[in-house]
Amino acid sequence: MVTVCDFDRGYILGVDMGTTSIKTVVVDVAKMSVVHECWKSIEDSYIIHNDVLSEQRVQHMVAQLDQCVSSIPLAVACEVSSDITKSIYTITWVV
């Protein structure tokens, strides 16, 4: 199935890859409101050596990120902009 996406997109995608979770959020730039969000735990992605957390299984983290991004409805995903200036403007405005 091919979907034609409008080039005048008004949403941005935010990604937070932390030490215990992965989060994604889609924000409507004009309304400054959250359109979609996802949270996945990655606490079980640690590899323990000698009772010390020393490594993370990156493939697990990427799989969780993929699940979050894949959960974005197609109609919402088609509105996500690839225009970095729009993202920078929004981040500056929010902060």
* pTM as predicted: 0.72
Residue 1 covered by a domain: no
Residue 70 covered by a domain: yes
Asked whether the predicted pLDDT for residue 9 surpasses 90, the reply is no
Q: How confident is the model at residue 17 (pLDDT cuts 50, 70, 90)?
A: confident
Distance between CA atoms of 12 and 33, rounded to whole angstroms? Answer: 11
Residue 68 covered by a domain: yes
Residue 87 covered by a domain: no
Interval 20-45: pLDDT, tens: 899 999 988 888 889 999 999 887 77
Question: Smallest Cα–Cα separation from 29: which of 8, 5, 46, 49?
Answer: 8
Domain that holds residue 16: 11-82
Residue 43 covered by a domain: yes
For 82, phi then psi, to 5°, come to -105, 10
If one counts the domains in the chain, the total is 1
Residue 91 covered by a domain: no
Interval 58-95: pLDDT, tens: 888 889 999 999 999 999 998 888 766 655 555 544 44
Residue 49 covered by a domain: yes
Residue 33 covered by a domain: yes
Element (H, E) at 72: none
Strand stretches in the chain, DSSP E: 11-17, 21-28, 33-41, 46-49, 52-56
